[in-house]
Every structure is written in C-alpha cells, then in structure tokens.
Amino acid sequence: MDAATLTYDTLRFGEVEDFPETEEPVWLLGVEYSALTEKEDILSDVTSRLWFTYRRNFPAIGGTGPTSDTGWGCMLRCGQMIFAQALVCRHLGRDWRWEKGKKHKSDYFNILHAFLDRKDSYYSIHQIAQMGVGEGKSIGQWYGPNTVAQVLRKLAAFDTWSSLAVHVAMDNTVVKEEIKRLCCSSSLCGAAAALPDPESDQLYNGYPSGACASDDSLLWKPLVLLIPLRLGLSDINEAYIGTLKHCFMLPHSLGVIGGKPNSAHYFIGYVGEELIYLDPHTTQFSVEATDSCYIPDESFHCVHPPCRMKISDLDPSIAVGFFCKTEEDFEDWCRQMTKISVAKDGLPMFELVEQQPSHFSNPDVLSLTPDFSDTDKLERFFDSEDEDFEILSL
C-alpha cells in the first residue's frame, strides 16, 4: 500500500503544470495577481499556505487505531488547511509569508503545534477523527464538508489561545443576529479550556500555555464562518460559478473545501475557468516537534506549482470559509455579499438575513442535515430515511 501510494504521489506531482501565461487575473484568497508579471509572488503566496497531507507512522488514533490516514483522511486534511488559514490570519495576518530557512515568529510554530499528528494538539487528525465519532463517523470513514466543519467548530472551543467564534451556517442561510450574538459574548476570556484526551477521561491543557489571547475589554471575537453548500445535484450548476469566483476575491476569504466524490481538495483561488488548489493526496512521514519553539516545517509548505482543475469539474458539495477579525470586517463582508447577491453574473449561493426566519428550528435543538459526499448518497437521500442523515448539533 505505501509503495503504491508513494509511486502515485510522485507521478501526481510530476504531472503538475507550471502556472499558465495568461492575461486573466489570478485571485488567491482575496489578493489579485498578474500571471505575466507576478508569478514569483503567486508562488510565494501559495507556498506560504499551510499544506496538510496524508501522514504515516503517527501515534495510533485512540491508542489502537490507524497510524496513517492514507486513503481516508483527505477531507480531514482539507479541514485542517482551511482552519489553519484562519489561524494564520488571526495571529500572523494575511500578508505573512513563509521562506525556507527563515526564522519565524513563535506564533507560527504555535499554529503548527495545533495541527501536529498527536492527541494533545487542538486540531490534530486524532482529535478530528475522534470528535467525528460523535457526528456519526467511525474512525477511517470519509467525511463530507459539513461534517468536518461541525467537528472543527467543536474543537475550536478548546483553543483559548486563538479565542475564535466559529459559526457553521446551515440551510444555505447566514443569520447576522446569530453571528453577532456569538461574537459579542460577554465572557470572552475566562479560564483556559482543556482538550479532551480521546483515550481516557484525562484532560490536556491546550498548547500554548499562558494567558488567553482576548481580554474582557474586547467586544468581538474573531469570526470563522463556514458555510456548507450544495450547488447542484450530481454536477455544479453553472449559474453559481460567477458567485463562487467572487468569494475568492473577498479579503475575508478562507477558501473552499470540496473536490470530487471521495477526493477532497483545498481551493484557494482561481484563474480564468480553473480553480487553484492544494492537494492532500501525498503521504509523508509524521513530524514531531523537536522542542516547544521549533518544528521541522518544510513538509508543511508545498513548493510545487499549484494544482488546477476546471471549475465545472467541481463536486457540488462544498463548504465556503470566511474570516472576520473585527466587527467592522463582518459588516464589510455583509455589504460585499449583498452586492454579490444582486449581481447579474451568477445566482446567490446562500441567503444573508438579519434575523432567524420564523420557519427555522431552534438553533439549540439537534437538526437533521444531509452531508452529501457523492452522487450515490444524493440518490439514496431521496429514497431512504436511514443513514443518509447526520444528526448534527448547531
């Protein structure tokens, strides 16, 4: 299995084309580039995104479970990538750049620590897989975008260092009132939460230790907004493509997680009619921290030209991400999304409303929400009431 995977991975990278010579603008997470004059800047930006791939030889998940996520962890890794981008924006800023051999801030290594393949890291493959059990996913089972969004929301509650407000907007609707209530919590600091040990009742203190990043004088928790969507039946509806492109143009963009059935990618931008993405389907050895201040980090940055695929080939089941560090950022995002929704070059992908519609269920009550991962599941959803629903708490 490993030998076959490594051969496949090597060929995969060998087939990656250099970036196209085109006059079309290149958009990467809210930043516009020229492919003709700013190719090095494009590659620097892509390389600076944290790249999480399959790993092997990490401690067994649950003590006796798998020691590699090859073949099943691609959506989990994509969830790590979109959330890592939120942490980069939160602690380092969108303009931060990684350079090989350069000495980086401790905050950068703190972010990496949060994603290491170990049970006491906030967003490790161990924590995501174990938390997914509560969402009806056994360890080793493939996730959909909705499931990974819900799991990351729950895990973020333990990350008091980042002190994020994570909202997963359901039913294709973003309710401003709900988000403001979440971000303007009266108790923003408080005692540090402890990360649950998946193998016992023991609790781990989250890394890094120290005071909470927020204090009681702050009125807004930085927002990570994840919106699971279905943009068609078996194929993406072309009417949504223009709106999807606009999302990558917003300065608040965290990108999109999705891909093809059972093959997930992290999409960070587009050029022309192609999406630009980071691909988790490469198996690398697990990385251990050498000490509390340094991690061998080269394998967390993809130095190859970015992968591309036709937008029309995108599976319609996706999750779109945005980051709003301040309340002003959120208000700006709302204004821009309103403009996009009335534009003539695409259908709105979701609805933005002031208050929760009366026909919505209580957000504190469990709701049945389908998480489609492929066409077969979609067909079964209309025919069955069994396993195609996931019971997810809001």
Query: 288, 278, 243, 242: which is closest to 258 by C-alpha?
Result: 278
Element containing residue 276 per DSSP (H, E):
strand 274-278
Bond from prior residue into 370 cis (ω within 30 degrees of 0): no
120 is an active site residue:
no
Residues present in the chain in total: 394
Q: Which two tokens stand for residue 363?
A: 């957000």
Q: How far apart are CA 346 and CA 104, in angstroms?
A: 41
Q: Which residues contact 211 (CB under 8 A, 6 or more apart)?
A: none
Q: Which two tokens stand for residue 198?
A: 């998946």
Q: How far apart are CA 292 and CA 290, in angstroms?
A: 7
Q: How far apart are CA 307 and CA 302, in angstroms?
A: 10
Determine contact, residues 290/121, Cβ cutoff 8 Å.
Answer: no
74 is an active site residue:
yes
**Set 9, 69, 74, 371: catalytic member:** 74
DSSP 3-state percent helix, strand, coil across the chain (nearest 5): 30, 20, 50
Query: 210, 322, 317: which is closest to 263 by C-alpha?
Result: 317
Q: What is the dihedral of CA 62, 66, 71, 72, to 10 degrees?
A: -10
Q: How far apart are CA 193 and CA 190, in angstroms?
A: 9
**Set 113, 246, 265, 281: catalytic member:** 281
- What is the secondary structure of 281-315 as a DSSP string? ---EE----SBTTB---GGGS--SPPEEEEGGGS-
Q: How far apart are CA 169 and CA 174, in angstroms?
A: 5
**Set 9, 69, 117, 279: catalytic member:** 279
Active-site residue list: 74, 279, 281
